[in-house]
Structure 1
Amino acid sequence: MDLLGVDRAKATTEMTHTRGPKVRLSWLRDVYQECCDQELWECATRAYLLHLVGCTIFTNKSGMLIRVSYLLLFRDLAAYGRYAWGAATLAHTYEQLGDASFSDIRQIVGYSTLL
Structure 2
Amino acid sequence: MIERWRPETHTFHLRTGEATITLQDVEVIYGLQIDGQALYRVEPPEMLPYRQKLARLTGFEPLQRDMGGRSRLLRSSLHANLRLIDLQGLIDEASHQADVDQPARLYLLIIFGGITLPNTSGADMSIRYLLFIEDLDQLGCYSWGAAVMAYMYRGFDRASMGERLEVAAFSPLLQI
Report if TM-score (shorter chain) is over 0.5.
yes
Task: Give the total of aligned pairs.
Answer: 111
Paired with 1:111 and 1:34, the residues of 2 have a C-alpha distance of: 27
Larger mean Cα displacement after TM superposition, 28-37 or 54-63:
28-37
Normalized per residue, which structure has more helix? 1
Paired with 2:103 and 2:123, the residues of 1 have a C-alpha distance of: 19
Larger mean Cα displacement after TM superposition, 101-110 or 38-47:
101-110
Paired with 2:115 and 2:83, the residues of 1 have a C-alpha distance of: 20
Secondary structure in 1 matching 2:58: coil
Matched, 1:73 2:132: yes
Query: CA separation of 1:86/1:104 partners in 2, compared to 1, >3 Å: closer, same or farther?
Result: closer
Paired with 1:103 and 1:53, the residues of 2 have a C-alpha distance of: 26
Does the 8 A contact of 1:22 with 1:67 survive in 2?
yes
Pairs within 5 Å for 1:6-45:
6-7=60-61, 10-15=62-67, 18-36=68-86, 37=88, 38-39=90-91, 40-45=99-104
1:102 is displaced (CA, Å) by: 2.3
Paired with 1:95 and 1:89, the residues of 2 have a C-alpha distance of: 10
Matched, 1:82 2:141: yes
Paired with 1:42 and 1:32, the residues of 2 have a C-alpha distance of: 13
1:61 to 111, 117, 120: 120
| Structure 2 unaligned blocks of 5 or more | 1-54, 92-98
Residue of structure 1 equivalent to 2:56: 2
| Structure 1 unaligned blocks of 5 or more | none
Structure with greater contact order relative to length (CA < 8 Å, sep ≥ 6): 2
2:151 to 89, 92, 98: 92
Does the 8 A contact of 1:32 with 1:44 survive in 2?
yes
1:53 is displaced (CA, Å) by: 1.6
Pairs within 5 Å for 1:96-111:
96-103=155-162, 105-111=164-170
TM-score by length of 2: 0.55
* Residue identity in the other structure for 2:59: G
1:13 is displaced (CA, Å) by: 3.6
1:68 is displaced (CA, Å) by: 1.2
* Residue identity in the other structure for 2:57: L
Secondary structure in 2 matching 1:60: coil
1:11 is displaced (CA, Å) by: 4.5
TM-align CA RMSD: 2.1
Does the 8 A contact of 1:61 with 1:109 survive in 2?
yes
* Residue identity in the other structure for 1:32: L
